């Protein structure tokens, strides 16, 4: 396993190219959207999980860990979420073939599992915004630390409060004792004073104590956020919880009212609007009573834009797609265009085949909850 990790980390560009090619070819499988999709979806799932594992190996490389990525000893939340997302379509296909309309029970279980993992990640990360649903670790860049440390109890200087300063005697010019011990230890090293090992060990131990240690980042707790950030912290946490819970709420109401009902559609949209509204209110509310303003990092700003783009999926979801997009008219129109294109491009049959496959993928993807769920 270690040999495989080393190979992946050394050839990550080559690995990414192979993964992109393999995942792209899965869309061209001959029975991708036929009556029995278990075989093609199994292949897609396996390739997706392999891709997720390779990404996890690359992200947890020693050089990356030193720059602040997630510790490899902690639970691999991002890998777990990626694997669940890769498996959910296979779960839907198998459940539909063997259980029919009862497939929503299995989809609900899958969504509930993702919710539990994401909530655990949200808490473990110190209540940071989840990027791509938790698949991408939310690691702040150095330039973002000063603008975002104060959000949940950290000091604006990025030192995590006075507790860190208590151990920073080595860099304090006014600390004569620390400077004297440091100079004495360096003198002993240069002079190679080995005649008194115990004395040297004592000096080195005291010098190590006085050395500035790396700042230990304390993960904020929920009670600390609510006490220090007040309403803004509560709204931010509530908005993230709504974003995490929305897919499960949507599936549970589909299970109760059916896919053709407007109730799940409107309720899911309302939860999305509420969560985004809370987040925008927090970030645009200006300074609080302490003179501090809630800032988002560059990655979090991109995540907000991504979440807004996901609203376009409501056009693809039932019952909006059937009643307002006129699914049958769309299919008829596409077929007419394909027939005319097929006549025009008859000397190049490959293009006509690819065009027909594209339309098949669009219609087939719309028929699957997991392709348009945005979860």
Q: Minimal CA–CA distance to 130: which of 356, 375, 373? A: 375
The CA-based diameter of the chain, rounded to the nearest angstrom, is 95
User: Is 67 domain-assigned?
Assistant: yes
Residues 67 and 181 in one domain: no
> How many domains, in total, are found in the chain?
3
Residues 10 and 112 in one domain: yes
Residues 182 and 94 in one domain: no
Residues 4 and 78 in one domain: yes
Is residue 115 within 8 Å of residue 244, measured between CB atoms? yes
Residues 120 and 10 in one domain: yes
Task: Give the integer Cα–Cα distance in Å for 96 and 142.
Answer: 48
Domain's final residue, options 148, 183, 210: 210
The per-residue pLDDT for 64 is 47
Domain's final residue, options 210, 241, 271: 210
User: Is 290 domain-assigned?
Assistant: no
The tens digit of pLDDT for each residue in 227-247 reads 877 888 899 999 999 999 999
User: Is 73 domain-assigned?
Assistant: yes
Residues 9 and 79 in one domain: yes
Tell me if the pTM is above 0.75. Answer: no
Residue 10: partners with Cβ closer than 8 Å, 6 or more residues away: none
* Mean pLDDT along residues 287-308: 81
User: Is 187 domain-assigned?
Assistant: yes
Domain that holds residue 331: 326-375
Report the number of secondary-structure helices (H) and strands (E) in the chain.
18, 0
Residues 77 and 7 in one domain: yes
User: Is 266 domain-assigned?
Assistant: no
Residues 119 and 58 in one domain: yes
Residues 77 and 177 in one domain: no
Q: What is the distance in angstroms between the CA of the first residue and the CA of the last residue of the chain?
A: 31
Residues 13 and 100 in one domain: yes
Domain's final residue, options 70, 104, 124: 124
The tens digit of pLDDT for each residue in 343-360 reads 665 556 666 666 666 666
User: Is 35 domain-assigned?
Assistant: yes
User: Is 129 domain-assigned?
Assistant: no
The tens digit of pLDDT for each residue in 87-105 reads 998 999 899 889 988 999 9
Integer-rounded Cα radius of gyration of the chain: 27
Residues 8 and 117 in one domain: yes
Residues 10 and 91 in one domain: yes
User: Is 319 domain-assigned?
Assistant: no
């Amino acid at each position: 396993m270690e040999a495989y990790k080393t190979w992946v980390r050394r050839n990550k560009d080559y690995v990414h190219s192979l993964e992109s090619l393999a995942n792209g070819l899965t869309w061209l499988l001959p029975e991708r959207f036929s009556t029995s999709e278990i075989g093609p979806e199994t292949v897609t799932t396996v390739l997706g999980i392999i891709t997720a594992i390779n990404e996890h190996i690359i992200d947890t490389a020693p050089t990356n860990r030193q720059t602040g990525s997630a510790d490899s000893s902690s639970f691999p939340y991002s890998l777990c979420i990626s694997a669940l997302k890769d498996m959910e379509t296979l779960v839907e296909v198998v459940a539909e073939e063997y259980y029919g309309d009862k497939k929503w029970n299995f989809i609900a279980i899958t969504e509930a599992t993702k919710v539990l993992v994401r909530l655990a990640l949200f808490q473990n990360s110190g209540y940071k915004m989840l990027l791509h649903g938790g698949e991408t670790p939310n690691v702040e860049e150095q330039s973002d630390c000063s603008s975002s440390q104060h959000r949940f109890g950290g000091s604006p200087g990025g030192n995590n409060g006075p507790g860190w300063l208590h151990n920073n005697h080595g860099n304090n010019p006014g600390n004569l004792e620390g400077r004297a011990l440091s100079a004495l230890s360096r003198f002993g090293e240069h002079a190679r004073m080995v005649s008194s090992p115990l004395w040297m060990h004592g000096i080195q131990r005291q010098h190590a104590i006085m050395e500035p240690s790396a700042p230990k980042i304390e993960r904020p707790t929920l009670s600390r956020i609510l006490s220090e950030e007040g309403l803004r912290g509560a709204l931010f946490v509530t908005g993230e919880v709504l974003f995490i819970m929305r897919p499960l709420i949507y599936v549970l109401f589909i299970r109760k009212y059916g896919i053709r009902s407007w109730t799940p559609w409107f309720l899911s949209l309302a939860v999305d609007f509420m969560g985004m509204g809370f987040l925008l209110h927090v970030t645009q509310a200006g300074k609080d009573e302490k003179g501090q303003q809630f800032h988002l990092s560059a990655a979090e700003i991109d995540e907000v834009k991504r979440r807004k783009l996901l609203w376009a999926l409501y056009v693809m979801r039932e019952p909006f797609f059937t009643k307002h997009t006129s699914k049958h008219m769309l299919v008829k129109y596409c077929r007419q265009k394909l027939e005319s294109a097929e006549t025009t491009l008859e000397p190049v049959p490959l293009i006509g085949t690819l065009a027909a496959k594209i339309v098949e993928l669009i219609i087939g993807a719309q028929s699957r909850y997991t392709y348009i769920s945005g979860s």
